[in-house]
Structures are given as structure tokens and as C-alpha cells.
Amino acid sequence: MILPIVLYGSKILRSKAPDIGRDDNFTELAENMILTLKNQQGYGLAGPQVNVLKNIFIIDTTSVNEEGTEPAVKTYFNPEILDYNTDEVYYNEGCLSIPGIYEDVIRPDKIEVRYRDENFDVKEETLGGMAARIFQHEYDHLQGILFIDRLSVLRKKMINSKLKQIARRSII
């Protein structure tokens, strides 16, 4: 089932998500989130963006054409970032919950992460490039942080009227 996307202005996007437990019905949620992400043609989708305050996100790198990035659709339960590389890069980011706004955001180019997979087994890996960027963007959602929070005060002022327009459309 395709889930509705929560828009900027909704309080859930500013809430910290609790961990998913082994007994939660996370399989169906993950499947629905994958369908929703594919329908929206995005790179990532976090639980709060579909009005589910749980520590889950989906990453789809199948359309990323970058050396070293494995094309895959992955589900991350209870993700953590263990370490950040000091090399940072800018990239133009957008967000399904903030449609029509794209801004350059600086993030570490490589990260070490831990998460639970679809079998609820603990995994650790190193991510680089776009996979690292998408992971960080979606991880921020689980912390109640939006990519616009990483912009300068001046850039935020410049997009403030657009943000207000999106918030007026938010129904949740």
C-alpha cells in the first residue's frame, strides 16, 4: 500500500523516533515504505515521513550512477552512525516532505554505520558517496532534523516563504 507523505510543518517531522522492537510488525511497514518510495521516485524515506514514529528508513540507490555505490533497495531498522569521515562534500539535496526545495548541504563523504536488517540481525558497514549522504539525510529524519536545518541563516530566510506555503498544505 502506498502511504501518504507527511509535509513540512507536521510535528512528527520534528520528533525523535524510538527504536523498532522485534515484535513490531515491521515487515509490512517496510514493504509499504518501499512501494511509497518507488512511487515518489525518491532516494530515501524515513518512518516519520509516512506518519510512523519508528526508527526505520528505506534507501534506494538503484538509480544512482556512481562508482562504488551498489544499486540496491535496503531497509534499515534502528540505524546508528558510529563514525564520520572528516572529508565533507556539498551536494544538492531535496526531500519528499519538502517538495520543490533543493539546497546544497555539506555532509561527511564516508560514514560507519550499524543497523538491523530485515531479519533483525545486527549489521555494520562503511558507506561512501551517495549511499552515505542518503543514509545521513534519512538518519536525520529519525532525530527530528530536516536538511533545511543544515542551511545557513541567510539561505533559510531566502526559502522561508516557500516553507510557509508547504506548511499550509500539511494536514498532519
pLDDT per residue as tens digits for the range 51-104: 999 999 999 999 888 777 788 999 999 999 999 999 999 999 999 999 999 999
The fourth-level CATH superfamily of domain 11-169 is Peptide deformylase (3.90.45.10)
Helices and strands (H, E) in the chain, number of each type: 3, 7
Strands, DSSP E only, in 109-158? Answer: 110-116, 122-128
Q: 107 burial class (0-12, 13-18, 19+ CB within 10 angstroms)?
A: buried
- Percentage with pLDDT > 70 across the chain: 99
* d(C-alpha 50, C-alpha 105), whole Å: 23
Active site (catalytic) residues: 138
Q: Is the dihedral of CA 72, 69, 143, 37 positive or negative?
A: negative
- Sequence-separated (6 or more) residues with CB below 8 Å from residue 123: 114, 115, 116, 117
pLDDT of residue 24: 87
* d(C-alpha 116, C-alpha 128), whole Å: 19
pTM: 0.95
